[in-house]
Amino acid sequence: MDNEKALVVFQGKGIRRAWFNDEWWFVATDIVAALTDTPDPSGYLKDMRRRDEGFSQGWG
């Protein structure tokens, strides 16, 4: 992959990504911001992890 980091645009919002181990990794807060109307994507993810035990597994 020539460009290991690239910004993609989805519905006018930038989503950061990085090429690692032959696959694209995306920034979760950028995806939440693009798919929801929340003013605080980080808080939205924290609430989701708090409410859903299965979803919270694997987060640092």
- Tens of pLDDT, residue by residue over 1-60, are 557 888 899 988 999 999 999 999 999 999 999 999 899 999 999 999 999 988 888 776
Maximum Cα–Cα distance across the chain = 40
- Bridge partners of 26, per DSSP, are 17
* 42-59 pLDDT, tens digit each: 999 999 999 998 888 877
Q: Please tell me the distance from the alpha carbon of residue 44 to that of residue 53, in angstroms, as a whole number.
A: 15
Answer for the pair 28, 21: CB distance below 8 angstroms, yes or no.
Answer: no
pTM summary value: 0.79
